Structure 1
Amino acid sequence: RKKNIFKLSQGEYVAVEKLESTYKKSKLLDQVWVYGNSFKSSLVAVAVPGAGLQAWAASNGVAGDMDAIVQSPAAKKAVLDELQALAKGDKLKGFEVVKALHLDAKPWTIDDDLLTPTFKLKRP
């Protein structure tokens, strides 16, 4: 789909579905959406954590419910480190590796207008 390819500020084209399939391998996350635009040189991931991140938080001293966990800098760093390790494992190019992350505690749904009726991620 045309919306799934975009250009970064340095002129590189990014096929975002390929990247999302790599990042979905994370055991810490349930949903991942990658964003980039022609005004920035790096990618941002927006992700919904899963049970894996709750288990990580419990074993690493991050207390609270999922809303508290997603606000934790340690949790964000752990997820970002895992995403970057997955990117390295799949031999992604430097501009295809996410450099920033936002964690969203609420799973995405069709009712939120974040998924299509066929459960694909919506893009702006």
Structure 2
Amino acid sequence: MKIIDRKKNMFKLLQGEYVSVENLETIFSLVPSIDSIWVYGNSFESFLVAVVNPNKESLEQWAVENGVSGDFSTICENPKTNAYILGELLRIAKEKKLTGFEIVKAVHIDAVLFDMERDLLTPTFKKKRAQFLKYYQSVVNGMYKSK
């Protein structure tokens, strides 16, 4: 085995596959309607989940085209929006030929950008993964229970 990423940014899923999340986050960030994404998985689950900061202009345009009304926060909470973002993640995963265990199966859309005030980012804008998990623990638990 050859490690091509930071060891602390890798984890093993239930089926024994190792996942490099920084690589996946880079790929999923190619989706035009996503500004930022945090991917999570652990050795007690067989799939990945993600928290997404959507691109406001892109998502509002999609909402107008698809009959989803309301302000930006309301659009982010809509189940149609969740299905759209999940579909876009699946599309880019297939385009980049990701394997099944690398595909995100559940997503939470957060209208509030990841920031240093909530201690989610370092001053150089790197993700503090432990803080993300602590902050979004109930959301992550809900995504795993819903699948």
Q: Same fold (TM over 0.5)?
A: yes
Equivalences, count: 124
**Pairing 1:32–2:37 present:** yes
Kept after mapping to 2: 8 A contact 1:108/1:114: yes
Distance (Å, rounded) in 2 between the aligned partners of 1:109 and 1:58: 28
TM-score by length of 1: 0.97
Unaligned stretches of 5+ in structure 2? 1-5, 131-147
- Residue aligned with 2:129, SS: coil
| Equivalent in the alignment of 1:64 | 70
Q: Which amino acid aligns with 2:22?
A: E
Partner of 1:23: 28
Gaps of 5+ in 1: none
Other-structure match for 1:81? 87
User: TM-score by structure 2 length?
Assistant: 0.82
Q: Select 2:48's aligned residue among 31, 40, 43.
A: 43
Kindly indicate whether the alpha-carbon contact (under 8 Å) linking 1:3 and 1:123 is maintained by their aligned counterparts in 2: no
What displacement does 1:35 show? 0.3
- Percent identity among equivalent residues? 53
CA RMSD after TM alignment:
0.8
Asked which structure has the greater RCO (Cα within 8 Å, sep 6+), the reply is 1
